[in-house]
């Protein structure tokens, strides 16, 4: 199928129905049948999150079955809202990368309670929503250099990939200063299951099998059960649990981290949500032929507002920030052109709530291969960074490398921002630094110097 054919399919016969009028089906050259098929395709591609999100957040002490149910619930409601309000074929669900940063960064590294970590997500979502309402989101977007925006996505991708290798048992800490981490030759049943799962995942994805990621998770789970790596629970309830709903604590964020660290942590998560959405929304709407000649999206405020609600809603539901999914491109490739595609995805997620109790059976070795593949896909943004240019490449490299190495998105972003400003100052290019970049750089310098500042103030 050519690009032209994808952008302008033959107009459907008939029309004039309520659905046609509301979603502009005929105007965009699509039909109810096409939108349903596109919605089903998008759902199959992103349904893996129902199992992956619980496996990641379980590391932070959350109940996997409850996370699975709430993940499907929030994704369903937000995808429907996106379709009805913004009328774009853009589905939403818990964002990979942010959920890992919540579990491994905020809880396991920074010591926040799971409720406090979700409080960070609620706060950053509310801030982003406020920025959309006052029209500042685009201004902040323009303040950050494009290379750093891309580096954020790449760094998160490598972070996810690294977590996949660790949770799958293929990389572990060595305790040796010369080599802090090392590859584990598959000498355990779990590691072998991960490798088998990775083979299944790559083959299915390479063959472009619809629903490749969810199929690979289910297939690898079966392998794990046969191999004895996973067990069927003694007691199993088909009734979904929603115990994570409302499990967030705003006050815990500032009392445990301190005001400066809390503010910068919230800012870092906000930045991640901020730019991930802009990139995803631009890519999907352009693919669907919904942008103008200059690449602008009509009525983008509605899209951005629904997405910002997703961050706060995900935190309030205890399942981490929900964001627009790049996997929506699969549905667009199937002909999806309107919000009806997103509505179909949302309905399927709501039906999938009843599958969420199965999340407890899925071992980390079954989701690790998907994390590795998704990390690879996110890392593709690296091709847009000019590493031959010191001003662009070095700050981007610091952001990319330090996210997985330090298990902290905050550290990676901060290092990239500070280095970008430093190089510009050294080269006498003060005019290239946006005023907001100055503010952010100073804030991150305070963040990195907290220990020194604390010692000086207490002396």
The predicted structure's pLDDT at residue 427? 95
Looking at per-residue pLDDT, the higher value among 173 and 50 belongs to: 50
Residue 120 has pLDDT above 90, yes or no: yes
Q: pLDDT tens-digit profile of 424-444?
A: 999 999 999 998 889 888 888
Q: Per-residue pLDDT averaged across 236-248, rounded?
A: 78
The predicted structure's pLDDT at residue 359? 63
Is the pTM above the cut of 0.95?
no
Indicate the SS3 state at residue 382: helix
Contacts of 97 (CB under 8 A, 6+ apart): 156, 157, 159, 160, 272, 276, 378, 409
User: What integer best gives the mean pLDDT of the chain?
Assistant: 84
- Closest-CA residue to 396 (of 182, 149, 231): 149
Among the residue ranges 20-29, 78-87, 264-273, the one predicted with the least confidence is 264-273
Q: Per-residue pLDDT averaged across 191-220, rounded?
A: 90
The predicted structure's pLDDT at residue 30? 92
Helices marked H in 234-354: 251-257, 259-287, 300-316, 328-333, 339-351
Give the C-alpha separation, 263 to 128, whole Å: 14
| Bridge partners for 172 per DSSP | 182
Looking at per-residue pLDDT, the higher value among 77 and 141 belongs to: 77
Beta strands in 34-117 (DSSP E): 92-94
The predicted structure's pLDDT at residue 1? 37
pLDDT winner (highest mean) among 223-232, 264-273, 327-336, 408-417: 223-232
Sorting pLDDT into bands at 50, 70 and 90, what band is 341?
very high
Burial 129-159, CB ≥16 within 10 A → b, else e: bebbeeeebeebeeebbebbbbbbbbbbbbb
- C-alpha dihedral sign at 80, 82, 87, 89: negative
Sorting pLDDT into bands at 50, 70 and 90, what band is 453?
low
Q: pLDDT tens-digit profile of 265-320?
A: 888 788 777 767 776 787 788 778 887 765 567 778 888 889 989 999 999 999 99
Q: Per-residue pLDDT averaged across 402-428, rounded?
A: 89
- Closest-CA residue to 41 (of 345, 343, 288, 378): 345
The predicted structure's pLDDT at residue 296? 66
The predicted structure's pLDDT at residue 9? 45
pLDDT winner (highest mean) among 5-19, 349-363, 410-424, 442-456: 410-424
Among the residue ranges 185-194, 264-273, 299-308, 361-370, the one predicted with the least confidence is 264-273
Residue 5 has pLDDT above 60, yes or no: no
pLDDT over 70, % of the chain: 88
Looking at per-residue pLDDT, the higher value among 172 and 339 belongs to: 339
Looking at per-residue pLDDT, the higher value among 234 and 311 belongs to: 311
Residue 4 has pLDDT above 80, yes or no: no
The predicted structure's pLDDT at residue 85? 95
Q: Per-residue pLDDT averaged across 165-182, rounded?
A: 83
The predicted structure's pLDDT at residue 230? 82
The predicted structure's pLDDT at residue 6? 42
DSSP 145-211: -HHHHHHHHHHHHHHHHHHHHHHTTSEEEEEETTEEEEE--S-SHHHHHHHHHHHHHHHHHHTT-TT
The predicted structure's pLDDT at residue 450? 65
Give the C-alpha separation, 218 to 164, whole Å: 17
The backbone torsions φ and ψ at residue 243, rounded to the nearest 5 degrees and listed phi first, read -65, -20
Residue 131 has pLDDT above 50, yes or no: yes
Sorting pLDDT into bands at 50, 70 and 90, what band is 367?
confident
432 and 145 in contact (C-beta within 8 Å)? no
The predicted structure's pLDDT at residue 445? 87
The predicted structure's pLDDT at residue 65? 83
Q: Per-residue pLDDT averaged across 365-372, rounded?
A: 86
DSSP 401-434: HHHHHHT-HHHHHHHHHHHHHHHHHHTT-GGGS-
């Amino acid at each position: 199928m050519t690009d032209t054919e994808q952008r302008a399919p033959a107009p459907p016969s008939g029309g004039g129905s309520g659905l046609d009028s509301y979603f502009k089906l005929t105007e965009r050259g699509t039909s109810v049948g096409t939108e349903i098929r596109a919605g089903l395709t998008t759902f199959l591609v992103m349904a893996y999150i129902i199992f992956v999100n619980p496996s990641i957040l379980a590391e932070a002490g959350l109940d996997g079955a409850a996370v699975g149910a709430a993940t499907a619930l929030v994704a369903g409601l937000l995808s429907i809202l996106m379709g009805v309000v913004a009328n774009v074929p853009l589905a939403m669900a818990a964002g990979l990368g942010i959920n890992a940063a919540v579990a491994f960064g905020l809880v396991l590294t920074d010591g926040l309670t799971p409720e406090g970590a979700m409080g960070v997500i609620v706060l950053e979502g509310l801030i982003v929503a406020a920025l959309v309402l006052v029209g500042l989101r685009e201004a902040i977007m323009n303040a950050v250099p494009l290379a750093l925006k891309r580096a954020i996505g790449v760094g998160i991708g490598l972070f996810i990939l690294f977590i996949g290798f660790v949770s799958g048992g293929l990389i572990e800490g060595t305790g040796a200063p010369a080599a802090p981490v090392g590859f584990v030759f598959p000498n355990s049943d779990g590691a072998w299951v991960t490798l088998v799962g990775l083979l299944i995942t790559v083959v299915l994805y390479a063959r472009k099998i619809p629903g490749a990621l969810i199929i690979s998770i289910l297939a690898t789970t079966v392998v794990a059960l046969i191999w004895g790596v996973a067990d069927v629970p003694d007691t199993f309830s088909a009734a979904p649990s929603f115990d994570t709903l409302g499990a967030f604590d705003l006050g815990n964020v500032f009392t445990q981290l301190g005001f400066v660290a809390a503010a910068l942590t919230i800012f870092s998560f906000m930045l991640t949500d901020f730019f991930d959405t802009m990139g995803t929304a631009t890519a999907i709407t352009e693919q669907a032929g919904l942008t103008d000649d200059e690449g602008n999206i009509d009525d983008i405020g509605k899209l951005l507002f629904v997405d910002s609600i997703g961050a706060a809603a995900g935190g309030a539901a205890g399942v981490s920030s929900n964001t627009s999914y790049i996997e929506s491109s699969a549905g667009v490739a199937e002909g999806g052109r309107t919000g009806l595609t997103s509505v179909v995805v949302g309905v399927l997620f709501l039906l999938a709530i009843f599958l969420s109790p199965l999340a407890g059976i899925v071992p980390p070795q079954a989701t690790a291969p998907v994390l590795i593949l998704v990390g690879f896909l996110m890392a593709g943004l690296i091709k847009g960074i000019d590493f031959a240019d010191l001003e662009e490449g070095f700050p981007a490299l610091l952001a990319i490398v330090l996210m997985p190495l330090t298990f902290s998105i905050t550290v990676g972003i901060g290092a990239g921002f500070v280095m970008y400003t430093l190089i510009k100052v050294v080269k006498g290019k003060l005019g290239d630094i946006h005023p907001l970049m100055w503010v952010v750089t100073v804030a991150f310098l305070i963040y990195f110097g907290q220990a020194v500042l604390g010692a000086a103030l207490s002396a």
